[in-house]
Chains A and B, each alone.
Chain A
């Protein structure tokens, strides 16, 4: 039951993009078309979950016993970067279709703050293993939900009459603000 609440709160109430401000560069960068944002979203779910599991295990079974907590930032980014590289090579070798669909998004994910952010939040909230898995998957799913909704709005925005100086990123940010406002309405769901 707690895990379900955790999932709902991570997807809607504390949406990683709209409430915690993580992952905004890809949010604005690749949300111009629905299909590309779906690719990005799936890639983020995949990498964020794997990265969280690895960083959580390394943190609890290597860094804590060795009292090396202070270099967690360095270790985490190395794990994420090498994981992304590994996933890329693995997909290229074993699943050509998936590689063609996700390939171009993978290098971008290394510098996606959502992935690193989820890994850090797992440690900050002191989650156990299953809580961590649920939290990572649902946070990344929240990212995908937000970026998909946003891409559909942006496709419409493209053909609407926006004042010249507000075109592009400016109106996109204002739109994201209004979306964030509506997501705040979920905050009554979980106390």
Chain B
């Protein structure tokens, strides 16, 4: 039971992507110009992560060791195609905004990383829980980064105007440099907080 709880919560701080596990940076930078896009991407990754972890864990004794990475990629790619179609069918606007970053979930290192590090050696239910935890952690991070960039860059939050007309938004935040600098500063702050709690710094 304690194992279950520790797996359930580890994605929210201990292995919080993309900050604590420095993986999956491309979507974290690319789609976080608004909170809405960040959350959409996060939820898509969560969906893929839960089902890829579940499938890989169920098949872990069947897949030969030598071709395991290739097999994982096929499983992940199939799920990504599924997400692509679901988004196009039910969230067309979002799928247009996320563009090529949706098919690029295939090469998101978090998913392959969890498959290799967790799902390939743990039972199915626990692996799905791991996918859920890491996925929600990723969604949370992306939503926070997206909110910061959207509020500072355009003065809105989830499209709702937040700041008054006196606020001059700095457009720099919604462009590429803002993404890098924002993510770097958040990572630095999290390191400072982690060190204050007496943990090792992720470099």
Residue of B nearest to A174 (CB): B184
B195 contacts A73, CB within 8 Å? no
Contact mask for chain A residues 147-168; partner B; CB cutoff 8 A; 1 contact, 0 none: 0000000000000000111111
- Roughly how many angstroms separate A166 CA and B195 CA in the complex, as a whole number? 11
20 contacts between A and B (CB under 8 A): A23-B26, A70-B85, A72-B103, A73-B77, A73-B80, A74-B81, A76-B103, A77-B77, A81-B70, A113-B104, A117-B100, A120-B103, A165-B189, A165-B191, A167-B201, A170-B185, A171-B184, A173-B180, A173-B187, A174-B188
A170 contacts B106, CB within 8 Å? no
- Roughly how many angstroms separate A117 CA and B131 CA in the complex, as a whole number? 25
Give the Cβ gap from A155 to chain B, nearest Cβ, in Å: 16
A184 contacts B80, CB within 8 Å? no
**Number of A residues whose C-beta is below 8 Å from B?**
46
**Is B177 located at the chain interface by the 8 A CB criterion?**
yes
A177 contacts B180, CB within 8 Å? yes
Determine the interface band of chain B, counting residues with CB < 8 A from chain A.
35 or more
* Residue of B25, B106, B179, B195 with highest tally of chain A CB at under 10 A: B25
Ranked 4 nearest A-B pairs via Cβ: A168-B203, A173-B184, A177-B180, A177-B181
**Is B30 located at the chain interface by the 8 A CB criterion?**
yes
Residue of A nearest to B80 (CB): A73
* Other-chain contact of A120, B85, B100, B189 (Cβ < 8 Å): B100
* Other-chain contact of B104, A70, A110, A116, A174 (Cβ < 8 Å): A116
**Is A36 located at the chain interface by the 8 A CB criterion?**
no
User: What total of A-B pairs shows CB separation below 8 Å?
Assistant: 135
**Is B49 located at the chain interface by the 8 A CB criterion?**
no
B109 contacts A111, CB within 8 Å? yes
A residues within 8 A CB of B74? 74, 78
A21 contacts B26, CB within 8 Å? yes
* Other-chain contact of A180, B77, B176, B187, B201 (Cβ < 8 Å): B176
B201 contacts A24, CB within 8 Å? no
**Is B99 located at the chain interface by the 8 A CB criterion?**
yes
A residues within 8 A CB of B179? 21, 177
* Other-chain contact of A111, B99, B107, B176 (Cβ < 8 Å): B107
Interface residues of A in 13-45 (CB under 8 A from B): 18-25, 28
Give the Cβ gap from A19 to chain B, nearest Cβ, in Å: 5
- Roughly how many angstroms separate A164 CA and B24 CA in the complex, as a whole number? 24
Give the Cβ gap from B145 to chain A, nearest Cβ, in Å: 12
Give the Cβ gap from A129 to chain B, nearest Cβ, in Å: 20
B107 contacts A77, CB within 8 Å? yes
- Roughly how many angstroms separate A141 CA and B184 CA in the complex, as a whole number? 25
Given contacts A25-B23, A177-B178, contact A73 B184 (CB under 8 A): no
- Roughly how many angstroms separate A168 CA and B183 CA in the complex, as a whole number? 13
B100 contacts A164, CB within 8 Å? no
**Is A10 located at the chain interface by the 8 A CB criterion?**
no
Interface residues of B in 1-45 (CB under 8 A from A): 22-26, 29-30
Interface residues of B in 170-203 (CB under 8 A from A): 172, 175-185, 187-189, 191-192, 195, 201-203
- Roughly how many angstroms separate A72 CA and B103 CA in the complex, as a whole number? 9
Given contacts A170-B191, A174-B184, contact A28 B104 (CB under 8 A): no
Residue of B nearest to A24 (CB): B25
**Is A181 located at the chain interface by the 8 A CB criterion?**
yes
* Other-chain contact of B112, A111, A170, A178 (Cβ < 8 Å): A111
